[in-house]
Structure 1
C-alpha cells in the first residue's frame, strides 16, 4: 500500500517555431500531442509532461488549449535525449515538482494539518502549475490508490508549498504516522485471509491473491505462511494464511475476494476472511443476491473492473493454468 509518491515532471520547451518543436518530439520520441487531461490521466511516477511554447514565454503557464506530450521517461533522461539530438528548442523551464499523497480517512483534517505544518496554500491543479515555479512543490491529495495513473477527477485537493520537493517529500514521509493518526483515529484494521484448495494448487492461488491485493492497493501484507484450520471437530486441514493491515472495510475485502473463488462455474479455491478473530460469512455480503453463484459473479465483475490491464492479463494467465489442472468438482 502506497501513501506517497512523486508525480510526473513538468517541462516547458521554449522555441521560436512551435510547430517544428512539436513535430520534432513526435518524430524523435514516437509520441503524439494529447490534451492536458488525457496526458495527466495516463502519466505515472517520474514520467514527463512536455509543453512546447513560444520562446518569449517565461512563466510556467498551463495552457489547456495548447496540449502537451507525455514522455514515458524520467525528466533527466528526456533532457539528455533533447541535448544529444540537437533539438530545436531555445530554452527549458521547469514547473513545480509534484508529490502525490493518499489520505484514507478524514480529508479535511489532513488539509488542516498540511496547511499548518508546511505553510501550504490551497489551490487547484491548474492554478498550482501556474503559480508554482521550479523551486516549489505542488502537493496533490487523493483518497484513491496511487500505485497506478491517477485521474484528475480523483484529486481531493492541491497545495503549493514554497519548499524544495526533496525536503517536502522527506518531511512528509516522516509525518505519515501523524497524518494517519489524525485522519484515522479508529486505527488500522487487521484481517486474516485463509486459502484452501482441495486440489493443492496453492502456488497459483497464492499468486492470484497477492496480485489482487497489490494491484488494488488494499493494505500491507505483514505476514504469510502455512497454518491449520478446523472446519469441523476432529478435522484438521492445512491452509495458507495471509495477514493484512488495512483501512478498508473487511466486508469490502470479503466481497472482492469472493470474486477470486470462482470464474464462471469453475471454482478455484476457498478464500475465507477473518476480522477480529471472527470469520466473515458470505451471507453477510449477499443481501442483494439470490445465491452464492450470483454473489461470486457480481464480485468477479467488480474486481476485474478495478484491476489494471496488466494485472487482469496476469490473473487470466494464472487462471488458465489452474483450469488445465482442474479436477472435476461439484457445481455450486
Structure 2
C-alpha cells in the first residue's frame, strides 16, 4: 500500500533530417502527442515512451538542442519494434536510449536520503537537466518525491536534486528495491512508524463496503500497510458488546492526522454519517476532539465535512469515482 519505487518513462534520443515528415509518421503510427520539453515528463507514466528529436544527434546533448518532444503511450519495446519493422525507419539518422529514471518515495529529509543512496552507490547529484545532459545511455537517474507513486509523478512534486549513476540498471534496480525501506527510514529523522487499529462499525452491517471504501483511500494516499484484519467486539456501553471489523495498519502518519482522515470518511458530502471508524493505539482510543487539538465550541458534523473536503482534495479522479459507487451501495443498505 506504499509504493516505494517505480520506473519513470523510457526516453529515446532520435536524430532526423526530415523532422516534420518523421513527426507526422509518429503521430499516424503511434498517436504521438507533441508536448513542451518541460511538461512531457509530467504527462507520462512508467509504461510510456518519450522521444526527443534532434537535427543532429551528438554524443553529448543539451536541452537547447532538442527540436521537438513527443509522448507515445506505448512501452519502449513496442515502439522500437515498430520503428525497425516500418519502412519509414529510413527517416532516422541516429537513435540511442536516454538515461533511465527511477523514482523513489521519501518522507521528510529528502537530501539526506539522496546522500545515503550516493554513499552506497556513488554518482553525481544535480538538477534533472544536469543529470540528463551529463549522462550516457547506460546512466540511471534517481529522483525522490514525498507524493504517492501510484499516480503520475510531476516535476513540481519531485525533489529539486537528482542522482545520476553510471551503473548496470537491472542490478541497481534490484538493490534499490531490496533496500527501499531502509532509505525511506533514513529520511524520516525522528518520525516513527505507528501501528494503528481501525475498528469499523455500522449498525446496518455493511462492513465489507466500508472496508473497501477505507482501503481505496489508504491505497490512493499510500499512507501505510495493512498488517492484519479480524472480527472483534467493542463495548460502547457497559456490558453491551457490538461486532466490529478491525484493521491493523502500519503507518508513518501521526495519530491525530490519521484520525482527521477517518473523521472525514465517516460522513457523506451532505453531512449524513454512514459509519464509525474508531482509531486505537495499544487499545487506547483516539477521540475526534484530540485530532482537532481539543478545540472548544466545535461541531462534529461541521469538522467532519471540513476533513472530508481535505481528504477528497488529495484523491485522484479515478479514486473519487470508485468511492462514489461504494457510497451509493452503502446508501442502498439503509433501505
TM-score with structure 1 setting the length: 0.91
1:205 lines up with 2:213 in the alignment: no
CA distance in 1, matches of 2:266, 2:28: 48
Match runs of 1:39-50 below 5 Å: 39-50=40-51
CA distance in 2, matches of 1:140, 1:312: 28
1:279 lines up with 2:282 in the alignment: no
- Residue 195 of structure 1 aligns with which residue? 200
- Residue 323 of structure 2 aligns with which residue? 315
Query: 1:126-174 deviations in whole A, cap 9, x for unaligned?
Result: 1111111111110111222111111112211301111122121112123
1:158 lines up with 2:187 in the alignment: no
CA distance in 2, matches of 1:9, 1:97: 6
* Range that drifts further, 179-188 or 109-118: 179-188
Question: Relative to structure 1, is the Cα distance of residues 319 and 241 closer, same or farther in structure 2, using a 3 angstrom cutoff?
Answer: same
Secondary structure of the corresponding residue to residue 134 of structure 1: coil
Alignment check: 8 A CA contact 2:141 2:163 kept:
yes
Secondary structure of the corresponding residue to residue 149 of structure 1: coil
Match runs of 1:162-201 below 5 Å: 162-184=166-188, 186-201=191-206
Q: Displacement, 1:177? A: 4.1
Alignment check: 8 A CA contact 1:139 1:158 kept:
yes
CA distance in 1, matches of 2:64, 2:134: 13
CA distance in 1, matches of 2:75, 2:6: 14
**Cα RMSD (Å) of the superposition?**
2.0
- Residue 250 of structure 1 aligns with which residue? 255
- Residue 292 of structure 1 aligns with which residue? 300
- Structure 1 gaps, min length 5: 328-332
Determine which of 130, 133, 136 is the counterpart of 1:133.
136
Q: Displacement, 1:57? A: 3.7
CA distance in 1, matches of 2:277, 2:126: 45
Aligned residues: 327
Alignment check: 8 A CA contact 1:58 1:93 kept:
no
Secondary structure of the corresponding residue to residue 148 of structure 1: coil
CA distance in 2, matches of 1:220, 1:317: 24
Secondary structure of the corresponding residue to residue 266 of structure 1: coil
Match runs of 1:211-226 below 5 Å: 211-226=216-231
Alignment check: 8 A CA contact 1:136 1:162 kept:
yes
TM-score with structure 2 setting the length: 0.91
Determine which of 229, 254, 276 is the counterpart of 1:270.
276
- Residue 85 of structure 1 aligns with which residue? 86
CA distance in 2, matches of 1:288, 1:318: 34
Question: Relative to structure 1, is the Cα distance of residues 289 and 124 closer, same or farther in structure 2, using a 3 angstrom cutoff?
Answer: farther
CA distance in 1, matches of 2:238, 2:288: 21
